[in-house]
A and B are shown apart, each in its own frame.
Chain A
Amino acid sequence: MNNALTLTGVRKSFGATEIIRGVDMEIRDGERHAIIGPNGAGKSTLYNLISGRFPPSAGGIRLYDTDITNKKAFEINRLGLTRSFQVTNIFARMSVLDNVRCGCLFALGHRYAWWKLVGRLRDLNDRTAVILKDIGLWGKRDLPAGLLSYADQRALELGIAVAGGANVILLDEPTAGMSHSEIEQAVSLIRRISEGKTLVIVEHDMGVVFDLADRISVLVYGEIIATGTPSEIRSSAAVQEAYLGTGAS
């Protein structure tokens, strides 16, 4: 079986506190994989380790066949892994259009070019238009991103993340703070943008998780206590006890 991500014995300590305490996890190529767990379980930390925000204290992480354990964030991104953030993380003073353009630039090979004009790059502007229409922000493309509504900023956050066309997409609570109707839209958006790709999603809304995920991993106090299909997770006694029984419905 071909794995998109393979984590073996990953640990992370901040000072004396160990947040991630030996995580083994396999994300299969092309699946939609949800990570759930109570607050403070270490979900965001795990994302930060995988995406290279900081290196793990021990263990190894592989993206397909490449060891990415100690690579920098931008190197990992160039290998085809992208992520979104729990707290909206956009370029507030730039236009919505330029936000998405920035997400496309490196992947399209324009890198640090200072001798070509962005207005003239057809591939860039075509791709940007596709993304903007997909996330429903084409009509607001000239607004400064900082002036968008919260839900629109979340959509833009997703747009920037997927603009580069990365194969492995990590989403960190993409529906946090949204209303019911907004969540519905967000889920269908996530379904569309992750078509044919590998999706890992951290999410608190169980409706979204069971709706979207092929497989679910449960992270409690820095350890994976169970991995399986939604129905397996639903019926797992360990999960019931540790998580579902105490937390969400």
Chain B
Amino acid sequence: MNMLVGRLGPWIGGAIVLIALPYVFSSGFALTLMSQIGLLIVFALAYNMLLGQGGMLSFGHAVYFGLAGYFTIHYLNFIYEEEVPYIPVTLIPLLGGLVGLFFGILIGYVSTRRAGTTFAMISLGFGEMVTALTLVLVAIFNGEDGIQTDRVIGEELFGVTYGPNIEVYYLIAGWCLLCTLAMFLLTRTPFGRISNAVRDNAERVEFIGYSSQRIRWLAFSLSSFFAGIAGALHAVNIEHVGFEQVSVLQSGLVLFMVYIGGTGSFVGPIIGATLLYFLQSTLTGVTEAWVLYLGVMFVAVIMFFPGGLAGLITMHQPIWRVHSRLLAPLLIPYARFFAALVASVLGCIGLIEMLYFRSSRLSTETELIIFGIESDPFSAVPWVVFTGIAVAGGFAVRKTLPSAVSAWNTAIADARALPRG
């Protein structure tokens, strides 16, 4: 019984959170944001089936997301014109998944014949090719404008029309939970385990009866299926799909999400998708330098904590599993380090914002507000102040890091010394 609660707990908790969220954040902006995060979680988890579980680095996975999106828009329009059989919008994501699966099987047959760099290059090639096609085949993809639809095609069960955003939110939340559960269970099947084995050591797999190529193809196809579901949800949510959704830009974004969240654990992509899309949609209105910050964040993760944000959490797992009080000595060194880090980052942000202001907004605006303080980038004072904060913060980071690391080392050693209980 306890084991059952332990296993089902996270899922029931997740479901309750998904149901409750709109009551806490009920604005239109928040609903669209949460809907978009929900479908990006599906996309990021699908991507991690390749990268984290299967060891395949793809630069073109948006192809399956985007093509399913295009297909969904067309299908909804065809339903409207009564040219195709009616499918309720509730089940439309499944159709998108099948479109993703179809193209995944087709393109994957070619690209998964090789692993490693060759696979990455082929995926990039297909990504560019499909993006070019969407711009060339105007009759199907309508070029740079993309295509749009109206998701309200009739009344479904319980009078749901998917007109109001809240109904679309629950549609996406439901599919998100379902797909997350499905992908989690997939990691625990023979396929999932052998997929991990191919990631770790593709050659050895051949000598225990498996074709590593076949495993990669299967992983690629299943991943494309879930990417297709996410793409269809995107189409229903935004009611528009353009070449951006198949482009390398979108493929890069999902790579960033998964990597920053952490490829090594199942929840990593969920954290990454949530954080990145939240930052993106809130920061793009505030600063023009958002893309720069994203890039810096990505590089910082790769260099300093390749396990991603989830990796930072799981490295403390052995400690709190033994006893949570072992975490207490970590608090002060961590807080010191974190304060230093925040100071240096804030200083750098101030400098970057002033640079951006001076280089791009000269004519239109005259004042720059950074962290609520009006700063004049044409006087020396803010430059001196922000440089001072950045440099002092940087020194403090170097000073406080060793004690944070040694605190962790001590805690881990203590945890190993104690029996489990």
Contact = CB atoms under 8 A, between A and B. Distances in A.
A111 B190 CA distance: 7
B207 A77 contact: yes
Given A105-B208, A105-B209, A119-B188, 9 more contacts: A53-B206, A77-B206, A91-B201, A91-B204, A98-B197, A101-B193, A112-B191, A114-B189, A163-B208
A112 B200 contact: no
Interface in B295-332: none
9 closest pairs, A vs B, by CB? A106-B209, A114-B191, A91-B200, A73-B206, A110-B190, A77-B209, A113-B190, A102-B197, A89-B204
Contact of B207 (A83, A117, A118): A83
Interface in A137-187: 160-161, 163-164
B399 interface: no
B211 interface: yes
Contacts of A14: none
12 contacts: A72-B206, A72-B211, A74-B209, A74-B211, A77-B206, A77-B209, A94-B193, A102-B194, A103-B208, A105-B210, A119-B188, A121-B190
Contact of A114 (B192, B197, B206, B211): B192
B197 A117 contact: no
B208 A164 contact: yes
Contacts of A77: 206-209
Interface stretch (B214-222, B238-246, B370-378): B214-222
A116 interface: yes
Contact of B197 (A52, A91, A107, A116): A91
Contacts of A164: 208-209
Contacts of B191: 112-114
A78 interface: yes
Given A74-B206, A111-B190, A90 B218 contact: no
Contacts of A101: 193
A114 B222 contact: yes
Interface of B: 185-186, 188-194, 196-197, 199-201, 203-211, 214-215, 218, 222
A85 B204 CA distance: 9
Interface of A: 51-53, 72-74, 77-78, 82-83, 85, 89-94, 98, 101-103, 105-107, 110-119, 121, 160-161, 163-164
A90 B204 contact: yes
- The prevalent SS among residues of B at the interface is helix
A83 B191 CA distance: 22
Of A74, A89, A111, the most chain B CB neighbours within 10 A belong to: A74
Contacts of A74: 205-207, 209-211
B209 A107 contact: yes
Contacts of B190: 105, 110-114, 116, 118, 121
Contacts of B203: 89
Of B188, B200, B209, B218, the most chain A CB neighbours within 10 A belong to: B209
A72 B189 CA distance: 25
Nearest to B196: A94
Nearest to B191: A114
A7 to B, nearest CB: 19
B206 to A, nearest CB: 4
Nearest to A160: B208
Given A113-B189, A116-B190, A93 B200 contact: yes
Nearest to A102: B197
B204 A160 contact: yes
Contacts of B215: 112
A138 B185 CA distance: 25
Nearest to B264: A93
Contacts of A161: 207
Contacts of A113: 189-191
A101 to B, nearest CB: 6
Contacts of B205: 74, 102
Given A72-B211, A106-B210, A98 B189 contact: no
Contacts of B222: 114
A79 to B, nearest CB: 10
A114 B126 CA distance: 27
Given A74-B206, A89-B204, A91-B201, A117 B196 contact: no
A117 B191 CA distance: 9
Given A91-B200, A93-B200, A114 B208 contact: no
